Structure 1
Amino acid sequence: MLQNSTQCTSGSFLSVMISLLSMYFETPPVPNIDLNEWWGPECLQGHQDTSIRLFRIEFNESMIEDLRHRLRNTRQLTPPLKDSGSEYGFNTYEIPGWLQYWAEEYPFHERERMINRYPQYRTNIQGLNVHFVRVTPEVPPGVEVVPLLLLHGWPTSFLDFYELIPTLTTVSKDRGFAIEVIAASLPGFGFSEGAVRPGFGADKIAVVLRNLMHRLGHKKFYVHGADWGSVVASNIATFFPLEVLGYHSSMPSNNSPIALILRLIGAVRPSLVVRPELEDRMYPLYTQLDKILKEFGYFYIQATKPDTVDIALTDSPAGLLAYYFEKISVATRIYYRYMADGGLKNHFTREQLIDNLMMYWVPNSIATAGRIYAESNSLRYFSLQIYSIPSEVPTWIMQAKYEISYIPPWMYQLKYPNLLNETVLDTGGHFLALELPHVLAEDILQAMIEFQRWHEQHKVHIEL
């Protein structure tokens, strides 16, 4: 299943090209960061409760009855076109069975207990109540406990990491440390509040979550991210390189001008850019463009007018389910768009999928979550040129076979010169934490071992 390759360096031709391009693209400075920027209601500024409070997710009876009523009274859906699979969107013949399960068979209170099996908390950061799971292992004397921040993406939730937690928090005599896991809901997602004014992009979210770690007593920490969580984690590593001990990503990306130009060069001669056995993950370029044109409609909507579509997703659980399933399906395997059932049952349980939907339906957070696309694809955000700012943080990347895109490790080194390793999977899709939790957890553990070795070799004093 796994292919491991240590960090790669670019060939002589690309080294020359990078040097020439660098003459025309100056490295931008790290942006000025306001650690106290306020994102909550103005009337509460200076009066918020900054304590760390226990939190419990509740599926109360009134919510359940309202949800069941909406599910039972869904209008008759328009039949799909003959033999179209899910090419026009998630197949409407499949929807009634899922709605029936959600309304009549989904074990609400059993799943509520499952979701609450790990300790959960909320605390107010910069005016926003931020929700997180915190699991601290019991360790024998002399064993160091190090903090790891886990960040999910859209349209999933902190529940992505539930199956990783037992592996990550297991105390092993083979390691000189144990891990405290903090799995946060991104602000605006799930039970974390969203901003009340514009401008709350991935850079601002990064500051809030860094401040969360400080609130928990962790001045230095490790971080893993997927999807938007990877973008936020990368922002944290860029803004606070002396605080991030190591950055692990299962969706690495670099959209700097230099990286984009080099990708285009590879379209003419792929061997200059990517190893032959991985060439089909990047080229031919028209296959990538076809994917963008056919599958990124949601991206353009949410990056421009997220609130309009979110009215439908907020009001209709059937609409929320179909929208969610379409993205889960195609991002797991691109060819699942030709299947009526979207291939979902090949990788996920029914409970897993509905659990994640509940993390948007119960707190009514699909609208605030969707705004991350608009706020992080704005002129303000692009002007920061974050992808072009190198970070010295030691880094480790894991790339699944069916991830949305692939980036060669040498290209990622333009952003993270201390890239220690690339783990290449010959299976797996975008939602790796749900699909292959044990594989991902083991890779994070190995990365943290190597991060510590890197710090020892560089004689960096780590004080948590």
Structure 2
Amino acid sequence: MQRVHFLKDSFLSLDAFHKQIVIGTAVAAGVVLYIQRRRCHKVQTVPLGEGWWGAGERQQSEDDKIYYFEVQTSDDEIKDLHERLDKTRYTHPLEDCAFQYGINLTYLKSVASYWRHEFDWKKQVAMLNKYPHFKTKIEGIDVHFIHVRPTQTKQKVVPLMLVHGWPGSFFEFYKILPLLTETNIDIAFEVICPSIPGYGFSEAPHQQGFDSLAAARIFLKLMERLGFLQFYLQGGDWGSLITTNMAQMKPQCVKGLHLNMFMMRRGFKVLLSLLVGPYLPFLVGLSREDVRRLFPFFEKNVWTILRESGYLHIQATKPDTMGCGVNDSPVGLAACILEKFSTWTNLENIYLVDGGLERKFSLDDLLTNIMIYWTTGSIVSSMRFYKENLKGNLDNRVDSRTRIFVPTGLAAFPGELMHCPKSWAQIRFHNIVSYTFMPRGGHFAAFEEPQLLASDLIQFVRKVEL
């Protein structure tokens, strides 16, 4: 009995000791973080650099004119698509399987049937041309963008660039555009929405090395060519990194940066939060909602990233190999893209036979995005963007070591692949004007929840402007 009491007291002592270690570590970390913040008051910038992405040797002069562009199609293009859809060779699906192995093949057949017999591409092309499209040559390649001016003239007009990611396109923003440009509130936006080079109607780079820094520089040149000296930026996925790079390169031009995807991968503060957060979240700046979204960390974040990042490893290493197949088969392309729109909207969609796709999107909208990739043959060049950005350790790049000081608005959607608390975001973003826990929505915020994203963007801009 005496030995039992001794063991019990030992365990209690260890538990108290553990708590003391946790609290002591938290206090020490607070002192370190305070000193670091005191030292990091100076604004840093990322060098603009220069580049040439055209075919062959660099030209001495470049046509800087802006040309009107119209999305077009033809009967031959549609006939070729239909013939390929008719000749698709399918694999038999597993019994009682939804999206756990990827896209459900029975559902994929139904999508292909709709695509072949009901989807009207000519109608969708007319819809795409609802907004004015343009092209201009920058650093040797044609850059496509839409430019939408506000319908009202009495409000304060604010220039705004929206940047998409993969496997999305400029079309992701078609639902949010009216909410930003056809509004009766005190602020309206003049929106520029480009296609990342290698995506859709923007020409693919012909040289190796085109990464987010190159895209950021090209988009800064585009805004300058359009006559905008100061403007706002909004992005998710690759668009988040590109717009962040723009703010790092020319902070004097960026009045505000709004993101719906943001991550902090490493650092002492992050590690400390993971150790202390489940027990004493207030000591490391975590809210109850942060704790709910983060923990258990390995189950909700690490395992999810491992399960959902197989595509990334392929595209970051051998994109051309996988790209050959999906560039040649429309159904293969649809399978690749639709699976991402399912899972990245809601991770629980893997348990649904239809992947939950039509809960948030119409088939017409999903197929229109796919058709932008199909008709331009741009899926391979879009995949290469992963290779170019992940050739080396992303943490060693200059932009990863450069803080952001422009006013920043962060919209944390619950369906995003990994949650980033405000306390983590503050490590990089030193002027967070607004941080919002969004009530619903996932990775494709503008496409899924245009009203929520528009409202958060507008309240952020108001705070900056006032």
Query: Same fold judged by TM-score > 0.5?
Result: yes
Partner residue, 1:5: none
Q: State the percentage of identical aligned residues.
A: 34
Alignment partners' CA distance in 1, 2:103 and 2:385: 23
CA displacement, residues 177-233 of structure 1 (integer Å, 9 cap, x when unaligned): 431011111111111112112211111111111111001111211000011101111
Amino acid in the other structure paired with 1:245: K
| CA contact 1:253–1:412 (8 Å) conserved in 2 | yes
Is 1:202 aligned with 2:217?
no
Q: Does 1:158 align with 2:189?
A: no
Match of 2:30 among 15, 33, 36: 15
**Residues of 2 paired with 1:290 and 1:29: CA distance?**
35
Indicate conservation of the 8 Å contact 1:145/1:178, yes or no: yes
Q: 1:336 is matched by which residue type in structure 2?
A: N
Pair 260,41 (structure 1): closer, same or farther in 2 beyond 3 Å:
farther
Give the CA deviation at 1:323: 0.8
* Matched residue, 2:73: 59
Maintained 8 Å contact 1:256/1:387? no
> 1:411, 1:96 → 2: CA distance?
43
The correspondence of residues 241-390 of structure 1 with structure 2, limited to 5 A, is: 241-258=251-268, 260-266=270-276, 269=279, 271=281, 272-287=284-299, 288-379=301-392, 381-390=394-403
User: Structure 1 244/25 Cα, relative in aligned 2: closer, same or farther at 3 Å?
Assistant: closer
Could you list the per-position Cα deviations for residues 395-441 of structure 1 after superposition, in whole angstroms to 9, with x for gaps in the alignment?
Answer: 01111111111111122112111101111122111111111111111
- Give, in whole Å, the separation in 2 of the partners of 1:437 and 1:294: 28
Higher RCO by CA contacts (8 Å cutoff, separation 6 or greater): 1
- Identify which range, 425-434 or 209-218, moves more after superposition: 425-434
Aligned-partner residue type, residue 298 of structure 2:
Y
The residue type equivalent to 2:286 in the other structure is V
Structure 2-normalised TM-score?
0.88
Residue ranges of structure 2 left out of the alignment (5+ in a row): 1-25
Task: Work out which of the two has the higher radius of gyration on C-alpha atoms and give 1 or 2.
Answer: 2
Asked if the contact 2:152–2:182 (Cα under 8 Å) also holds between the matched residues in 1, the reply is no
1:387, 1:394 → 2: CA distance?
18
Indicate if the aligned counterparts of 2:263 and 2:420 stay in contact, CA closer than 8 A. yes
- Could you tell me how far apart the structure 2 residues matched to 1:353 and 1:64 are? 17
Computed over aligned residues only, the root mean square deviation of the Cα atoms, in angstroms, reads 2.4
* TM-superposed deviation, 1:284: 1.1
SS in 1 for 2:105: coil
| Aligned equivalent of 1:4 | none
Structure 1: how far apart are the matches of 2:161 and 2:71?
21
With the length of structure 1 as denominator, give the TM-score of the two structures.
0.89
Give 1:388 shift. Answer: 3.2
Aligned residues: 438
1:17 deviates by 4.8
* CA pair 414-125 structure 1, distance change in 2 beyond 3 A: same
Deviation at 1:33, TM superposition (A): 2.3
- CA deviation map 1:297-334 (0-9, x unaligned): 00111111111111111001111111111111110110
| CA shift for structure 1 position 383 | 2.7
1:184 aligns with 2:198: no
Counterparts of residues 438-449 of structure 1 (less than 5 Å):
438-449=451-462
- Corresponding residue number in structure 1 for 2:157: 145
The reply to whether residue 39 of structure 1 matches residue 53 of structure 2 is yes
Quick one: distance in 2 between partners of 1:17 and 1:268?
A: 22
SS at match of 1:379: coil
* Alpha-carbon spacing, 1:186–1:217, altered in 2? closer, same or farther (3 Å): same
In the alignment, what sits opposite 2:8? none
* Equivalent in the alignment of 2:245: 235
Letter in 2 for 1:145: V
Structure 1 residue 266: Cα displacement: 4.8
SS at match of 2:188: strand
Give the conservation status (yes or no) of the 8 Å contact 1:150–1:183.
Answer: yes
Q: Distance in 1 between matches of 2:462 and 2:305?
A: 37
CA shift for structure 1 position 100: 0.9
Query: 1:22: Cα distance to partner?
Result: 7.9
The residue that corresponds to 1:110 in the other structure is 123
Q: Which amino acid aligns with 2:329?
A: S
Aligned residue for 1:452?
A: 465
Does the 8 Å contact 1:22/1:258 carry over to 2? no
Corresponding residue to 1:222 among 228, 232, 236:
232
Residue type of the partner of 1:388?
R
Instruction: State the distance in 1 between where 2:58 and 2:42 align.
Output: 39
Preserved contact between residue 303 and residue 377 of structure 1 (Cα < 8 Å):
yes
Partner Cα separation in structure 2 for residue 266 and residue 378 of structure 1: 34
